[in-house]
Amino acid sequence: MKSRVRFAPSPTGMLHLGGARTALFNYLFARRTGGDFLLRIEDTDRARFQAEALEDITKSLQWLGLTWDEGVMKGGDCGPYFQSERLDIYKKYVDELLEKGHAYKCYCSEEELAAQREEAKEKGLSVQGYDGRCSRLTKEQIEKYEAEGRVPTVRFKMPKTGTTSFTDAIRGLVTYQNDQQTDFIILKADGYPTYHLANIVDDHLMGITHVMRGDEWISSTPKHICLYNAFGWTPPVFAHLPVILKPGGGGKLSKRDGDVSVFQYKEKGYLPEALVNFLALLGWAYSEDQEIVTVDEMIKAFSLEHINKAGAQFHVEKLNWMNGEYIRKLTVEDLTERCWPYLIGAGLVCEGQDKSSLHYIMSLLQPRLVLLTDVVDMISYFLKDEIDYNEADVRKILKKEGVKENLAALRPVLESSDFTVESLDKDIHAFMAETELSPKKVLQPLRVAVTGRSCSPGMFETLFALGKEKVLKRVDYAIESLTNIEA
């Protein structure tokens, strides 16, 4: 049987790393098994629906390259793929459960439910559940409530004794005590189904064979199993993915530790390839000695058996390292293209400008970039006329005995040089040999004078990229204004 998996986000917030990893694992599984990857939007919670979240989710998935075969924006035989457009379907299945006696209408109002919880608390009972009182209503009581115009919800009758078990593909046998379960709502008073009902009806009708989802859904699974049983349907295989932990292991990853939206990672200058690689290894033991893994390699190797039960620790340093590695792999044309929006944003280039004029500079920066956004600071002294001098570097390197004189002596060498990388290298080395000045005395001050800082790509390449005019102007400025030693 062809496998069918789905990513089923609720558009109540932006797509975060955990959701992106769930989507990725489903995608890899579908590609590995030659199955289908569906995108279904679970938008039945109208109070929490956010239109921006919907757009963010689909755009983030596209940016990550996680293309879906069927679902919203794509269509397919099992649509619609927005749950809010499937209300008639759910109604039909709710009616079926009512008819079979697996569900009942509950007329309790919000206030009454709150009062019941209060009462249970006073008696020292669990306040989580519902005591099932509406399942015992007489015909007369029901008629009375109906006549009052009360709009009921529908609750599913959970078994109250014994256990409900399922075999999770990652965790093995999972068992829940039924006396801990409550008769949960499947249809709300507003006519919308709850997550539990809509989710399993759709998984069934859409032919989903494997449900891979975040660990936080595991406690909902006994409810889902009981719903499948009530309909007489075979449940899919469940696989609950390990939780993503803070570095050091102290609990679930929070916003502060990096659990921000995928788009925020994009804005910070991460490459989608790097983020995908990083997410894939959060909980999946790909190999002991290989960390840079292409999507093709992932697809070839993906299997649920290799996903860990234990939580996966998030280390931003690892993500940064990976991002740098992926930056190194890009062609210079591609790198320039990807950096372009950040350069435009910083006002360093303008729309329509010839990108190829930056290729040489980009090739110098490529080994040094960690994030694409680093380019803005690193390229600034190449593109701007006025540069920012790092005060500490100026103090430490330029305001030193002899620097003014040495730069002044070097100036004519620069002026008469052919200014290719090779000639600069040759001419400056000849100058150092002749004057018996060390590279520390010549190259370091020169670097600070022309770039404003003590770290840059190779000196001769940097001088060449800057061009003679800029270099001489900055050397002159340094001689005049930056090398004076303060008393």
Dist. CA 296–CA 273, nearest whole Å:
12
Stretch that binds ligand GLU, among 4-12, 90-98, 316-324, 435-443 (CB under 6 A): 4-12
Q: In this structure, are residues 338 and 355 in contact, taking their beta carbons and an 8 Å threshold?
A: no
Q: Measure the CA–CA gap between 279 and 323, rounded to whole angstroms.
A: 12
Q: Which is nearer to ligand GLU, 57 or 465 (CB)?
A: 57
Our answer to whether residue 100 is catalytic in this structure is no
State how far the Cα of 427 lies from the Cα of 263, in Å rounded to an integer: 48
Instruction: Kindly state the smallest distance separating residue 8's Cβ from ligand GLU, in Å.
Output: 4
Residue 221, helix vs strand vs coil: helix
Near ligand GLU by CB under 6 A, which window of 7-15, 255-263, 300-308, 479-487? Answer: 7-15
Cα-Cα-Cα-Cα dihedral sign, residues 333, 334, 335, 339: positive
The binder of ligand GLU chosen from 3, 4, 10, 106 (CB under 6 A): 10
List of long-range contacts for 333-337, beta carbons under 8 Å, 24+ apart: 333/359, 335/362, 335/366, 336/362
Is 451 a binding residue for ligand GLU by CB under 6 A? The answer is no
**3 vs 199, beta carbon nearer ligand GLU:** 199
Token pair of 119 as six digits: 């009462």
Phi/psi at 300 (nearest 5 deg)? Answer: -65, -35
Contact code string over 199-238 relative to ligand GLU, x by CB under 6 A: x-------------x---x---------------------
Q: How far apart, in whole angstroms, are the C-alpha atoms of residue 303 and residue 320? A: 26
Cβ within 8 Å of residue 202, ≥6 positions away: 8, 40, 83, 86, 208
Least separation in angstroms between CB 141 and ligand GLU: 35
Q: Which is nearer to ligand GLU, 184 or 195 (CB)?
A: 195
Binding to ligand GLU (CB under 6 A): which residues in 177-196?
Answer: 195
Pick 199 or 483: Cβ nearer ligand GLU: 199
Between 9 and 242, whose beta carbon lies closer to ligand GLU?
9
Residues 260-299 that bind ligand GLU (CB under 6 A): none
| Complex with ligand GLU: residue 207 or 247, whichever CB lies closer | 207
Judge contact between 267 and 338, C-beta under 8 A: no
Which is closer to ligand GLU, CB of 43 or CB of 257?
A: 43
Is residue 42 near ligand GLU by the rule CB under 6 A?
A: yes
H-helix segments, 123-248: 139-147, 195-205, 221-231
Residue length, the chain? 487
Minimum Å gap between C-beta 237 and ligand GLU is: 13
63 binds ligand GLU (CB under 6 A): no
Rounded to a whole number of angstroms, the minimum distance from the CB of residue 196 to ligand GLU is: 9
- What distance in Å separates the CA atoms of residue 287 and residue 279, rounded to the nearest whole number? 14
Strand, helix or coil at 86? coil
**In the complex, minimum distance from the CB of residue 159 to ligand GLU, in angstroms, rounded to a whole number:** 21
The count of chain residues that interact with ligand GLU, using the rule CB under 6 A, is: 8
Contact present, 63 and 26 (Cβ < 8 Å): no
What single DSSP character describes residue 150? P
Does residue 9 belong to the site contacting ligand GLU (CB under 6 A)?
Answer: yes
In the set 3, 4, 5, 8, which binds ligand GLU (CB under 6 A)? 8
**Nearest approach, Cβ of residue 10 and ligand GLU (Å):** 4
> Under the phi-then-psi rule, with left for phi > 0, alpha for psi from -120 to 50, and beta for the rest, what region is 79?
beta
Alpha carbons within 13 angstroms on the beta-carbon side of residue 147 total 6
Minimal distance, residue 44 CB to ligand GLU, in Å: 9
Query: Buried b vs exposed e over 288-314: b needs ≥16 C-beta within 10 Å?
Result: eeeeebebeebeeebebeebeeebbbb
Q: Residue 42 or residue 273: which is nearer to ligand GLU going by CB? A: 42
Q: Which of 2, 92, 100, 255 is catalytic?
A: 255
Binding of ligand GLU at residue 86 (CB under 6 A)? no
Least distance CB 256 / ligand GLU (angstroms): 22
Listed residue (166, 101, 108) closest to 133, CA to CA: 108
- The region of 8-16, 157-165, 180-188, 358-366 touching ligand GLU under the rule CB under 6 A is 8-16
Q: How far is the CB of 195 from ligand GLU (least distance, A)?
A: 6
235 vs 452, beta carbon nearer ligand GLU = 235
Stretch that binds ligand GLU, among 3-11, 282-290, 432-440, 442-450 (CB under 6 A): 3-11
The H or E element spanning position 6 is: strand 4-7
* End-to-end Cα spacing for the chain: 84
Residue 242: DSSP 8-state: P
Q: Which residues are catalytic?
A: 255
Which residues contact ligand GLU (rule: CB under 6 A)?
Answer: 8-10, 42, 195, 199, 213, 217
